Structure 1
């Protein structure tokens, strides 16, 4: 039983930010009910399906129950109201104002369940020129400085992270905030609203070192001019590795591993600050030295000298990496209709209330009948909703 066992979450979200936040809660034991439109949420149609479920949808929605409702209908809204009455948390990621227009703003929710945690995830916040704009991850990367951080250090051309990073940073932010709100409610009995913007979450995420030049207004500087032009990726005789040093001890170890002891006391590299000032020439010297070795040989030498280092793994190789295997990072579970499914285990390991992946991602409306039965809807009422097309259940 996870730490959130007994907590019920109504998940009205779509795509990535909200679904991933709710999945984190599901992994930690919450009963997450995914309320989808009759046609299903957009992520169900993105990617090649396996057993009717694309891989990304599976990973964003594992362990949830699904009910498909027409929330424009009175019957659909009645079901949602009944769900809210039994819920601890409601999460939505509509554009600002949409949930109020649906009739489920915070005041309406609190009238149904006074201590509910009402969570809204949006792209830009509720005010300002972008507030009502449609949003996808690249737009947030553009506005948050991500493309500047990822820019090619030689040409200066902006670049983007090749993953959906803004949604997932917002998801992590929301999940942590929900846990804090539940703790506050446990102490005081008070529910509250939580608002998370993807833009705010990303800027906060980047700030500690990515925005270091902006911290002290009186000493503002352009970080790009301080970070050098080369990444810590070095080519060996048979591949690529990474290696980096911060302390003098690590630098000395790197020099010994490369058989370049002459560099240890070189005034250009003798201190941490000197190595930062002369970063480009330092990295060029290290790159030339590393290129004389095979990956296995130089990594073994680096490890022996206590130099932080690792091979560059492709995404398939990480499945069999010795450290990943030792950690048990990837679960391999047989699910009916899916075969073996690989998922990362919940990364926070609880000693008393372990998290776990409780099941696969649901088919659209898979649990509609059982959820309605829990709410007291008899079979005749359920069938009437199906006939009226305000409830959808999957065809067996």
Structure 2
């Protein structure tokens, strides 16, 4: 019975047309395909630019093999009316559209949601853009880097009086892709349970990052407090910090629970602080943050990172190392939890990350890695639109596909 459950996925039978490029829209499509949707990716004849970004092998990025997994690639030059007509036919056969162009581009091609709804009222139409489909900034170009800054996220990262720090990832795009996938799932659920019709899912990069801002808004509204950057700490929660150890490695320690703090300071050799009534709760520890952090920093510098982590594990204090990807590959927990999946590219193995969340009975999976540009064009045009081989060759000769 379990094997039968594991062959089934939550989005089986859902057809998605992914129109867009680079990261936000394609990551949403990657998530949906991982959980069973049939994802047909429309690319320009030269392919999605992400195929050529960062580390390449034989002209194709390793990144593409991950984000392009489980997708069927069809090439269409959407600047040409005949290609727009084909895209329209594909969308009319689908449940979901994902696009991440600037607002107005899809409408200029006759592929906007109001036009599509005339022939496919069940369509769930997900739109990802820098600033959303409405408002004074809607038509501005918005890359993740810019939108992370406007969202407030960049402001609280880094050290006071220094330039805000950017994580070495385009998290604005990825977070927006996750929001889009969630919005699509909600819209599909509503369609099936209630209206029987689709709707527009409007995802803005800056709003997706704004959604991570925790108490920043109510603290300003209620108390006029502006959250400032705080280096390796978190404002108002003590102790939680990153400490350098004797061997030059770093550890992260989260000792901000009342009983946890007592155990932490006992094992760190400061029983007087562990039982100091002034530090018995978080509010008191915030007032003595510098004293606490100095004591923990000195303790960590007296021992190697592994020794610190072993002592804290015994004391049931949350703590851990700072991993790079080499460390992840070597860690038994990552491997036991199935965080890496193996695919084969031209006979050579490649590890790509698993996609979350984990579902007990209908988990997602990688069926195939990202393939070549247009590798499914003929299959899709023949099986879905009943195009003849001669018609397909004619379209190819005209530069439409």
Q: TM-score, normalised by structure 2?
A: 0.91
User: Does structure 1 residue 86 correspond to structure 2 residue 93?
Assistant: yes
Shift of 1:29: 0.4
Unmatched 5+ stretches in structure 1: 392-396
Change (3 A) 1:267 1:351: closer
DSSP-derived class of the 1:288 partner: helix
DSSP-derived class of the 2:210 partner: helix
Paired residues of 1:9 and 1:90 also in contact (CA < 8 A) = yes
Paired residues of 2:151 and 2:206 also in contact (CA < 8 A) = yes
User: Does structure 1 residue 21 correspond to structure 2 residue 28?
Assistant: yes
Q: Which residue of 2 aligns with 1:222?
A: 226
Shift of 1:373: 0.9
DSSP-derived class of the 2:202 partner: strand
Q: Which residue of 1 aligns with 2:375?
A: 366
CA distance in 1 between counterparts of 2:176 and 2:354 reads 20
Shift of 1:85: 1.8
Q: Which residue of 1 aligns with 2:186?
A: 180
Cα deviation code 1:298-326 (max 9, x no counterpart): 21110111100011112211111122122
Cα deviation code 1:321-377 (max 9, x no counterpart): 1221221211223x1416212122222222222210121112111110001111201
User: Does structure 1 residue 37 correspond to structure 2 residue 37?
Assistant: no
Paired residues of 1:149 and 1:210 also in contact (CA < 8 A) = no
Cα deviation code 1:254-288 (max 9, x no counterpart): 11221221211224422221112222221111111
Shift of 1:129: 4.2
Change (3 A) 1:129 1:184: closer
CA distance in 2 between counterparts of 1:317 and 1:183 reads 39
1:62-141 matches, cutoff 5 A = 62-141=69-148
Name the Cα RMSD after superposition: 2.0
Shift of 1:126: 2.9
Paired residues of 2:130 and 2:138 also in contact (CA < 8 A) = yes
Q: What is the aligned counterpart of 1:273 among 283, 292, 302?
A: 283
CA distance in 2 between counterparts of 1:199 and 1:211 reads 15
User: Does structure 1 residue 171 correspond to structure 2 residue 216?
Assistant: no
Q: Which moved more, 1:15-24 or 1:180-189?
A: 180-189
Q: Which residue of 1 aligns with 2:361?
A: 352
DSSP-derived class of the 1:112 partner: coil
Shift of 1:209: 4.0
How many residues align structurally? 386
Unmatched 5+ stretches in structure 2: 1-7
Q: TM-score, normalised by structure 1?
A: 0.92
CA distance in 2 between counterparts of 1:211 and 1:37 reads 41
Q: Which moved more, 1:108-117 or 1:231-240?
A: 231-240
Shift of 1:231: 6.9
User: Does structure 1 residue 197 correspond to structure 2 residue 204?
Assistant: yes
DSSP-derived class of the 2:184 partner: helix
Paired residues of 2:240 and 2:256 also in contact (CA < 8 A) = no
